[in-house]
């Protein structure tokens, strides 16, 4: 709405070109009345399940649509204080500012030019409840955020998620590192690497086992049978990582122990050969990992633990098969 009279002296207001813009100016005292975007504060708040809090708007504009807890800053109020006040009024939560996420201009059909300032906010008290301007509040997984009333809110959520992606990955790695649950432990890329390059890993193992001082028997005998067994062992290794054949892997290694005893290999050489296979898998995986950021380091820690765990069990089963295969029945 255009200004008709000056707030200071009451004289008529005219429009003149100033600084490249049409400005409202008092015809008497020359006061310039600038029109500026309205500052709007919004909060992105996440819970322990990594869900974002949204409110459903009760009033126009955009009644019925979901958005972040948001509202206009008042005169004399900092933009941070505005964000926390709106969070309390609309969603019933107390909070503290964690960081600035986005600052974007936005033209709204109802309000005109807006300046959205979006913060990540940490919960500090209260419980989620719909305030006067909200029809409902709800927590939404980041992968299931509904269309929002303001595109700037969608951007702020994406920025917040991207900032948490690396810390979350590290947390997940630690949580799984000492867990017996292997689901999701290794990326498909790591398993695929071993599956697709099994032949190369096997040949590296053959070279190592024929040259290593702890496995002289493998250097003197035909390596064809152990080579074939190693290819099969790698298959069981990948399947075991994906939890598809734990029992079959155990039976396979018991059988390996029995066969190597019949073939005349000393037990200590059989165990050393198996340990060398573990080393070649680990080395090969490390060589083909691009450690570009901290997440990859923790993934390698996961991989290391899973390899050690698998081969500890394999060593046990080979030893059991070797010894039991030599018992008189």
Q: Please report, for residues 44, 66, 83, 142, 156, the alpha-carbon distance to residue 100 in angstroms, rounded to integers and kept in the order given.
A: 10, 21, 11, 19, 9
- Give the 3-state secondary structure of residue 13: strand
Inform me whether the pLDDT recorded for 327 exceeds 70: no
Tell which residue, 208, 196, 317, has the closest CA to residue 272.
208
Report pLDDT digits (tens) over 162-197: 999 878 876 776 665 555 444 444 456 677 888 889
Right CATH number for 188-325 from 3.40.50.2020, 1.10.3720.10, 1.10.8.60, 1.10.490.70?
Answer: 1.10.490.70
Beta bridge partners of 43: 119
The string of pLDDT tens digits covering residues 243-266 is: 666 678 888 999 999 998 988 899
* Interstrand relation of 112-126 and 38-44 (parallel, antiparallel or unpaired): parallel
Q: Report the CATH number of the 38-177 domain.
A: 3.90.79.10
Per DSSP, the three-state class of 66 is strand
Location of structure tokens 């700037």:
152
Q: How far apart are CA 194 and CA 305, in angstroms?
A: 16
100 DSSP β-pair partners: 119
Q: Taking residues 121-141, report their average pLDDT.
A: 93
Q: Sketch the domain layout of the chain as residue ranges.
A: 1-35, 38-177, 188-325
| 226 burial via Cβ count (<10 Å: 0-12, 13-18, 19+) | buried
Residue 226: CB partners within 8 Å, gap ≥ 6?
206, 209, 218, 273
Fold that domain 1-35 belongs to in CATH = Ubiquitin Ligase Nedd4; Chain: W; (2.20.70)
**What long-range pairs does 96-104 form, CB within 8 A, spacing at least 24?**
96/121, 96/122, 96/124, 97/121, 98/122, 99/163, 101/44, 101/156, 101/159, 101/160, 101/163, 102/152, 102/155, 102/156, 102/159, 104/152, 104/155
Contact 315, 271 (CB under 8 A): yes
Instruction: Report which listed range, 23-37, 124-138, 239-253, 280-294, is most confident.
Output: 124-138
What's the pLDDT tens digit per position in 91-106? 999 999 999 999 999 8
Output the pLDDT for position 117: 96
pLDDT score of 77: 95
Average pLDDT of the residues in 128-144: 93
Residue that has been written with the tokens 């032949």 in this structure: 199
């Amino acid at each position: 709405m255009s200004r008709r009279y000056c707030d200071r002296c009451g004289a008529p207001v005219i429009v003149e070109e100033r600084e490249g813009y049409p400005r409202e100016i008092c015809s008497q005292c020359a006061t310039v009345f600038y029109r500026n975007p309205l500052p709007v504060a919004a909060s992105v708040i996440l819970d322990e399940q990594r869900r974002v809090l949204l409110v459903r708007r009760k009033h126009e504009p955009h009644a019925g649509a979901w958005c972040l807890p948001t509202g206009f800053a008042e005169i004399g109020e900092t933009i941070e204080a505005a964000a926390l006040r709106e969070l309390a009024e609309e969603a019933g939560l107390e909070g503290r500012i964690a960081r600035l996420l986005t600052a974007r201009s936005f033209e709204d059909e109802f309000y005109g030019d807006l300046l959205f300032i979006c913060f990540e906010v940490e919960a500090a008290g209260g419980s989620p409840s719909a305030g006067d301007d909200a029809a409902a509040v709800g927590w939404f997984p980041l992968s299931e955020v509904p269309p929002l009333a303001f595109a700037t809110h969608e951007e702020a959520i994406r920025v917040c998620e991207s900032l948490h992606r690396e810390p979350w990955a590290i947390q997940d790695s630690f949580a799984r590192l000492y867990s017996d649950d292997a689901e999701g432990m290794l990326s498909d890329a790591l398993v695929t690497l071993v599956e697709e390059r099994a032949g190369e890993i096997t040949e590296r193992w053959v070279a190592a086992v024929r040259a290593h001082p702890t496995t002289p028997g493998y250097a003197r005998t035909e390596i064809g049978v152990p080579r074939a067994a190693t290819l099969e062992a790698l298959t069981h290794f990948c399947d075991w990582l994906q939890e598809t054949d734990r029992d079959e892997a155990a039976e396979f290694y018991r059988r390996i122990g029995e066969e190597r005893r019949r073939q005349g290999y000393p037990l200590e050489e059989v165990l050393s050969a198996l340990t060398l296979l573990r080393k070649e898998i680990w080395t090969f995986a490390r060589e083909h990992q691009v450690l570009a950021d901290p997440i990859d380091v923790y993934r390698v820690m996961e991989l290391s633990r899973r390899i050690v765990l698998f081969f500890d069990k394999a060593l046990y089963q080979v030893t059991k098969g070797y010894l039991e295969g030599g018992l008189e029945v």
